[in-house]
Amino acid sequence: MRKTLSIIIIANFLTFAAIGCRHVNSNNPKVIFAATITNAATATDDFSIALKAANDGVEKLQTQEPVYYATIHPYLVNLAKLNDKAIATIRAAMAGDTAADWKGALVAVVNAASQIDPTVFGFKNSSTQATVKILFASFSTAVSTISASFGGR
């Protein structure tokens, strides 16, 4: 478990370093769109990494906290599906599909992620909550970054 937590902590720090948006100094709508859509693609990629780290950690807690796992795992699966949909919508928009509602797809991810706080639960083991807070640190950062950049909550 210590090795798993070490890996997750390292992944969290790497994700913190990766999350962020590039700013563009231009009035050209095509340049602004290209930068914005690239930022959206980066945000969904970062969120995928955070989701994977959180899911891997939750999997490790399955035997220790089965009720928590049964509650949180479907939540993470749903978020992964919504994020995959956002990725596909962003790719369609990048390919020229003007009907692709990529901002709406990002807002759907943020809204679904904000429905519950995955770090608050009636854990059987008192140390589990601290572990879960570490597991979901980059997850929370990614959700906040997407929300601040593209809306939602």
Residue 126 sits in a domain whose CATH number is 1.20.1410
Confidence bin at 15 (pLDDT 50/70/90): very low
Could you tell me which of 81, 73, 78, 65 has the C-alpha nearest to residue 121?
A: 65
Query: So what's the pLDDT on residue 19?
Result: 45
pTM above 0.85, yes or no: no
Q: Provide the CA 83 distance to its chain's centre, in angstroms.
A: 8
- Mean pLDDT, the chain, as a whole number? 84
Query: So what's the pLDDT on residue 94?
Result: 93
Confidence bin at 84 (pLDDT 50/70/90): very high
Rounded CA-CA distance 69/49 in Å is 19
Rounded CA-CA distance 15/30 in Å is 29
Number of separate domains in the chain: 1
Query: So what's the pLDDT on residue 30?
Result: 85
- The mean per-residue pLDDT over the stretch 56-70 comes to 93
Pair of tokens at residue 91: 């790719």
Rounded CA-CA distance 72/53 in Å is 13
Q: Please give the radius of gyration of the chain, using alpha carbons only, rounded to the nearest integer.
A: 17
The residue segments making up the domain with residue 132 are 2-150
